[in-house]
Chain A
Amino acid sequence: MPDKVRVAVTVNGTAHDVLVEPRTLLLDFLRDELALTGAHAGCEQGACGACTVLVDGEPTRSCLMFAAQLDGAEVTTVESLANPDGTLHPVQRAFTENHGLQCGFCTPGMLMAACALLQHTPHPEPSDVREALSGNLCRCTGYQNIVRSVVAAGAES
């Protein structure tokens, strides 16, 4: 096996200094090494967006990036959104208030893509949401309530 790579990475505010196998996908690093299971493997080919996390603030498909690439990076996952006391993040609250989720498997990816959008565009129109989330598949909701949720989250802030 090739040499492991040393990576200093901050995940949800916690600094990690780790050795990773070069081929370890960011998705598996988060799930298997850090036990952060919010990002999901839906296709492992970048087609579904269920594994979306933020890398240095940018929405990123964690199945198409290697943990070895993360030296110096800051990663944000869905686990960072709610407060430890159970208070939901405004985007999470908007999703539950607008029934923007059913099985929940795509939801963490949707939430992270929505957070990235709201950072650039705090009060998005439905068309902005459609554009920003177009690469994230959902098989349950029919999307309409997801768009409503993100627009509502923007309206609230």
Chain B
Amino acid sequence: MKPAPFAYLAPRSVDEALAHLAEHGSEARPLAGGQSLVRLMNTRLATPSVLIDINRIDELAAISRENGTVRIGAVARQRACETSSHVRDGVPVFAEAVGQVAHPSVRRRGTAVGSVAFADPSAELPTALLAADGEVVAASTRGERSIAADDFFTGPFTSALAPDELAVALRIPVSAAARTGSAFVEESRRHGELPMCGVAAVITLDDDGAVAQVRIALCGVHRRPIRARDAEAALLSEHPDDELLQAAGALAASAADPVGDCHGSAAFRRHLAAVLTRRALATAISRAEERNA
């Protein structure tokens, strides 16, 4: 289980990295934490001919908060996100999700941006980004653009990034509204594995306790992370009760189009989508209510 040959480049600046990407395009892969990419390279499911190691670009390591947004740089470790007060206070759903990624030793090396860019349809962070209404900052020698999470994930392990683009950061709006709560819940076969299904929910209640805003995203139940838009619509302006949450779960399940594997069939993943959506919403709502208190 050894990787195929490749050339190794270790740029010291974003500009240098982008120049490499512009030159090598789809032959090249950026290397951040490597916890997914190197695994694929060892099994030769990924065989880039050029590896652009971005770990030495210090400016990409930062996690910061500016103008109501948390910004996570491309080589900020998952562990740093987990412990960052910017992330925990500003985007609790992302912090909760990152704490469920693999194991601590993997999170010390793995990066949040890398996980998003890897676009594994079962992974936690793309889904959390989707629920948090975040965006990916993509840079190339042609310039910089932001891609909303809603538009970023295009299929299994594929994204809207162009071959010459580097995901340099995530930008996630801080959930500032008073009665906002969130939850990330997942079920995996074994602690630390990718979930069979995971649900991220962010919900804001108005003064009457009706749903003012809600975003629900799921992983593990489709070829890419998805929003449960019908469920969101059903909740909006309503006072959530058990029956409504149950209905929302059913709507989320019907948005799912899972691919089964040895951990769970398509039907079981759909079942989990309903159960976990209901549970995530219930937790998010109770947290929203607590935050009011």
Number of A-B contacts (CB under 8 A): 87
Q: Which of A64-72, A82-90, A97-105, A146-154 contacts B (4 or more CB under 8 A)?
A: A64-72
Q: Does A25 belong to the interface (CB within 8 Å)? A: yes
Q: Which residues of A contact B35 (CB under 8 A)?
A: 46, 61, 64
Residue-wise, chain A 55-75 has the 8 Å CB interface mask toward B (1 for contact) of 000111101111011010000
Bound together, the chains give a CA A71 to CA B3 distance in angstroms of 20
B5/A135 in contact, CB under 8 A:
no
List the A residue with the shortest CB-CB distance to B3: A23
Q: Which residues of B contact A58 (CB under 8 A)?
A: 108-109
B106/A46 in contact, CB under 8 A:
yes
A2/B8 in contact, CB under 8 A:
yes
A5/B8 in contact, CB under 8 A:
yes
Q: Does A12 belong to the interface (CB within 8 Å)? A: no
Q: Does B104 belong to the interface (CB within 8 Å)? A: yes
B53/A60 in contact, CB under 8 A:
no
A135/B106 in contact, CB under 8 A:
yes
Given A46-B38, A46-B39, A66-B38, are A61 and B106 neighbors across the interface (CB < 8 Å)? yes
B38/A64 in contact, CB under 8 A:
yes
A1/B5 in contact, CB under 8 A:
yes
Q: Which residues of B contact A21 (CB under 8 A)?
A: 5
Q: Which residues of B contact A113 (CB under 8 A)?
A: 105
Q: Interface size of B by Cβ–Cβ distance < 8 Å?
A: 29
Residue-wise, chain B 24-53 has the 8 Å CB interface mask toward A (1 for contact) of 000000010011001101110000000101
Q: Does B192 belong to the interface (CB within 8 Å)? A: yes
Bound together, the chains give a CA A52 to CA B105 distance in angstroms of 9
Q: Which residues of A contact B192 (CB under 8 A)?
A: 134-135
Q: Does B2 belong to the interface (CB within 8 Å)? A: yes
Q: Does B293 belong to the interface (CB within 8 Å)? A: no
A135/B109 in contact, CB under 8 A:
no
Q: Which residues of A contact B105 (CB under 8 A)?
A: 49, 52, 59-61, 113, 132, 135-136
**Residue among B3, B5, B34, B103 with max Cβ neighbours from chain A (10 Å):** B103
Q: Which residues of A contact B6 (CB under 8 A)?
A: 2, 22-23
A63/B5 in contact, CB under 8 A:
no
List the B residue with the shortest CB-CB distance to A4: B8
Bound together, the chains give a CA A21 to CA B8 distance in angstroms of 9
Q: Which residues of A contact B8 (CB under 8 A)?
A: 2, 5, 22, 66, 68
Q: Which residues of B contact A49 (CB under 8 A)?
A: 103, 105
A61/B109 in contact, CB under 8 A:
yes
Contact among A28, A59, A64 with B34 in the assembled complex (CB-CB below 8 Å) = A64
Bound together, the chains give a CA A32 to CA B106 distance in angstroms of 24
A23/B38 in contact, CB under 8 A:
no
Q: Does A45 belong to the interface (CB within 8 Å)? A: yes
Q: Does B102 belong to the interface (CB within 8 Å)? A: yes
Q: Does B262 belong to the interface (CB within 8 Å)? A: no
B39/A45 in contact, CB under 8 A:
yes
Bound together, the chains give a CA A107 to CA B10 distance in angstroms of 33
Q: Does A125 belong to the interface (CB within 8 Å)? A: no
A23/B4 in contact, CB under 8 A:
yes
List the A residue with the shortest CB-CB distance to B34: A64
Bound together, the chains give a CA A134 to CA B34 distance in angstroms of 20
Residue-wise, chain B 75-108 has the 8 Å CB interface mask toward A (1 for contact) of 0000000000000000000000000001111101
User: Can you list 15 A-B contacts (CB < 8 A)?
Assistant: A2-B8, A22-B6, A23-B6, A23-B41, A25-B38, A61-B106, A63-B42, A64-B35, A64-B39, A65-B34, A69-B10, A132-B104, A134-B191, A135-B103, A135-B104
Contacts A22-B7, A22-B51, A134-B192 aside, 7 further interface pairs with beta carbons under 8 A come to A2-B6, A46-B39, A61-B35, A113-B105, A134-B104, A134-B191, A135-B104
Enumerate the 8 nearest inter-chain pairs by beta-carbon distance, A residue then B residue, closest first: A135-B103, A22-B8, A2-B7, A44-B1, A64-B38, A59-B105, A68-B8, A23-B3
